[in-house]
Amino acid sequence: MTATTSPTPAPGAPDAPNVLHAPVIAWFDAHARDLPWRRPDAGPWAVMVSEFMLQQTPVNRVLPVYEQWLARWPRPADLAKEPPGEAVRAWGRLGYPRRALRLHGAAVAITERHGGDVPRQHSQLLALPGIGEYTAAAVASFAYGQRHAVLDTNVRRVFARAAAGVQYPPNATTAAERKLARALLPEDEPTAARWAAASMELGALVCTAKNEDCARCPISAQCAWQRAGKPPHQGPARRGQTYAGTDRQVRGKLLAVLREAVAPVPQAVLDRVWDEPVQRARALDGLVADGLVEPLPERLYRLPLS
C-alpha cells in the first residue's frame, strides 16, 4: 500500500492522490469525535493548550481541565501574568506536571517574543518550551492548516500496520518513518491538514494498540498487516513504565499535597506522604530542582511564585 501503489497520474494531470487519503478522510468526516479543540471557535492557543495536555494523557481526562484552563486563561498573555505555580495547580491530576510549567513558559515566551500570538512557523513553535517535533507539527497543521507530517504514536501505528505490515512501530521514531510520512502527505495544504487529523483519529479509534477493529477500518483492504494475516509483534517487548515505589510516585504524592494547600506547607506535613526518608528527600529535591516546588525559610514549601 505504499505510495508506489498509487495509480499513475495521467500526463499533464495533477498528481493522483494516494489511495489511502480519500477513504481515511471520508471516514474522518463521518466518525471524528466532536472535541472542543477541533471546533471552529478554537483558536491557535486553544489548540496548543490541548496538545500540551494530550501529551501522554487520554482525551477523557483532559476535557474538563482544558475547559477550565481556557476559561481562566483565554489568551497566552493571561497565563503569562500568573505565577508558574498557578499553572501547576490548575494542571490538577493530568500527570507529568512539568508540562504545566513548560506551557506557562511557552505563554511567557509567546507574550514576549511574538506579541501574544501563537507563532505560525514550525521553527518558532519548536523553539518554545515543551514543544517538540510532534507538537510543533500538530499546532502548525491543526491551528494554521499547514502541510506537515504529524507523527504521533497513533499515526506511527497506522503506518506500521498499513505500510510496513507489522503490528507495532519501532520504539523510537526512525528516519524511515519520517520519510514515509512525508511521502504520504497530500500535496495541497488543506488536504494535508485534514489527512493529519484523520490518520491520527483512525489510530485513536480503530487502529488501536490493543483490540484493533479492522472490520471498521476504511483501509483494511489496503493494509499490509491485515493482508499478511496480522502477525504478532516480533522481538522484545517495549520497556514497561514501572511506577509503584518509584521516585515518580513519591513526587506525585508530594505535589498533590502542595496543589491542595493555600499556604506554605511545613516539611513535617510533606513527610507524611512517604515512609522512606532518603527517597522522600530525593523526590522533594528533584521537584525543587525542576522548578515545580519553591523552598522557603523554616522548612516551608509551596508551588513556585516565580
Partner DNA sequence: GAGGCGTGGCC
Partner DNA sequence: TGGCCAAGCCT
Binding residues for DNA, rule: CB under 7 A, are: 35, 37-38, 50-51, 54-59, 61, 93-98, 102, 129-136, 138, 152-154, 157, 171-172, 200-201, 203-204, 208-211, 237-241, 243-244, 246-249, 251-253, 255-256, 286
Q: How many residues does the chain have?
A: 306
Using the minimum distance from each CB to DNA, give the nearer residue, 71 or 172: 172
Please tell me which residue in 51, 86, 212, 294 is annotated as part of the active site.
51
Distance (Å, whole) CA 152 – CA 137: 10
Using the minimum distance from each CB to DNA, give the nearer residue, 67 or 187: 67
Q: 166 — phi, psi (to 5°)?
A: -120, 160
Going from the C-alpha of 66 to that of each of 19, 42, 90, 154, 251, the distances in angstroms are 36, 12, 10, 21, 23
CA 56 to chain centre: 6
- Rounded to 5°, angle at Cα 146 from 142 and 147: 110
The distance of closest approach from Cβ of residue 63 to DNA in the complex, given in angstroms and rounded to an integer, is 10
Question: What is the b/e burial string over 159-194, where b = at least 16 CB atoms within 10 angstroms of the residue's CB?
Answer: bbbbbbbbbbbeeebeeebeebbeebbbeeeebbbb
Using the minimum distance from each CB to DNA, give the nearer residue, 19 or 126: 126
Going from the C-alpha of 78 to that of each of 7, 72, 182, the distances in angstroms are 51, 8, 36
Contact 197, 32 (CB under 8 A): yes
The distance of closest approach from Cβ of residue 4 to DNA in the complex, given in angstroms and rounded to an integer, is 26
In the 3-class helix/strand/coil scheme, how is 17-79 assigned residue by residue?
Answer: CCCCHHHHHHHHHHHCCCCHHHCCCCCHHHHHHHHHHHCCCCHHHHHHHHHHHHHHCCCHHHH
Using the minimum distance from each CB to DNA, give the nearer residue, 13 or 237: 237
Compute how many other C-beta atoms are within 10 angstroms of the C-beta atom of residue 64.
11
The distance of closest approach from Cβ of residue 246 to DNA in the complex, given in angstroms and rounded to an integer, is 6
Compute how many other C-beta atoms are within 10 angstroms of the C-beta atom of residue 247.
14
Smallest CA-to-CA distance from 291 within 267, 258, 266 is with 258
Distance (Å, whole) CA 290 – CA 129: 13
The distance of closest approach from Cβ of residue 3 to DNA in the complex, given in angstroms and rounded to an integer, is 24
Using the minimum distance from each CB to DNA, give the nearer residue, 154 or 226: 154
Using the minimum distance from each CB to DNA, give the nearer residue, 9 or 231: 231
Using the minimum distance from each CB to DNA, give the nearer residue, 20 or 47: 47
112 labelled catalytic: no
Catalytic residues: 51
